[in-house]
Amino acid sequence: MPRTGFCFTVLHRDTTTAARRCRLDTPHGAVELPGFMPVATLGSVKGLTIDQVRATGAQMVLSNTYHLALRPGERVVAELGGLHRMMGWTGPILTDSGGFQIFSLAHRTKITEDGAVFRSHIDGSEVAISPERAVEIQEALGSDFAMVLDHVVALPAEPELVRDAMERSIRWARRCRDAAGRADQAMLGIVQGGLDEGLRQRCAEQLVQLDLDGYAIGGLSVGEPPEQMYRIIEATTPALPEDRPRYLMGVGRPQDLLEAIARGIDLFDCVMPTRNGRNAMAFTADGPMRLRNARFERDDRPLEDDCPCAACRHSRGYLRHLFMAGEMLGPVLLSLHNLTFYQRLLSDARSAIAEGRFEAFHRERLTALGG
């Protein structure tokens, strides 16, 4: 189906790495890539108002199909004007399909060729998500980007299990494509295949034949060493089309983002900046800072001198005090700082690619981060 209001443009390519600077136009505005999406699982980024999220520099957010289908239900969201209006977010939204819950709720899930049957983590009731149902929910939510339903398995896993999940993911992707009915919602396929380069390339090639609007690499950052993840990204991205966005799902550390950009990835999401922020860890250009450490008790410096976020108007000592006293402001401020840090890192990466200096930027930032 022809999509309305979408356009993907490669603006610059780095000459020494696979990094690229792109622009993704959507019905709800443009996204400059490489870009990072804050995670708004249930329609909110934990602890932050939508204006605060926007102030971090975020251009696009991610919400979750499975969770929103349970609470408040996709029909309620639709009656409230769709996910954009309900959240108050005017920019693009991507919704994950529920495939990750096949992995994270494996003890509650039964997989068949038709789809996945869950036991709700809320009340234990039975919830069924097929490829067609995943599309139905996402179309009711009204997101700009819908993800196909995929089968994610924990790693390491038996080769036959990985192959079976990969092949099922391809079949489910075809069913999602065939079920799609909204011209104003783009659809992204998800490459599976574990840590097997051949399976990853085979999956990518078959998904490309479906002519989807973009492609994601899924099933990584689930416990494997970073070097293995980088190897799979490097083996997979050449099999993905140059004229579609490439999304690495659920990743990750600042070092991981830089390494993935160097290997041709355009888009990221991860709960790490907000989850770690709620647990007193601040990301900085010199590496993470654990503010419960006693050495920060009398430290009157900001987290970073040049950071414009609200947290950096205060001292490290004050931020530590908030956590030690159990004040809710501490998690809010560190969540703001960490999201701002991620957005600034990706903005700097875009500038470095456009100016032909990404290799040096990549090397310098990794050294400073200790990666």
Q: Rounded to whole angstroms, how far apart are CA atoms 99 and 34? A: 24
- Catalytic, 269? Answer yes
Please check whether residue 187 is in contact with residue 176, taking contact to mean a CB–CB distance below 8 angstroms: yes
Task: Show the beta-strand stretches assigned E in the chain.
Answer: 7-13, 20-26, 29-33, 35-37, 61-64, 93-96, 109-111, 116-119, 126-129, 145-147, 186-191, 214-217, 246-248, 267-269, 281-282, 289-290
Q: Which residue is it, tokens 């036991």?
A: 119
Residue 226, preceding bond cis, omega within 30 degrees?
no
Please check whether residue 8 is in contact with residue 267, taking contact to mean a CB–CB distance below 8 angstroms: no
Collapse the DSSP code of 324 into the 3-class scheme (helix H, G, I; strand E, B; otherwise coil) and give the result: helix
Catalytic option among 14, 150, 256, 269 = 269
Beta strands 267-269 and 35-37 are: parallel
Q: Rounded to whole angstroms, how far apart are CA atoms 43 and 88? A: 9
Please check whether residue 193 is in contact with residue 162, taking contact to mean a CB–CB distance below 8 angstroms: yes
Specify the DSSP class assigned to residue 223.
S
First to last CA, the chain: 43
Please check whether residue 232 is in contact with residue 203, taking contact to mean a CB–CB distance below 8 angstroms: no
Please check whether residue 236 is in contact with residue 266, taking contact to mean a CB–CB distance below 8 angstroms: no
- Tokens, residue 267: 């888009």
Catalytic option among 96, 150, 256, 266 = 96
Q: For the range 313-319, what are the long-range contacts, defined as Cβ-Cβ under 8 Å and sequence gap of 24 or more?
A: 316/289, 316/291, 319/282, 319/291
Residues annotated catalytic, as ranges: 96, 269
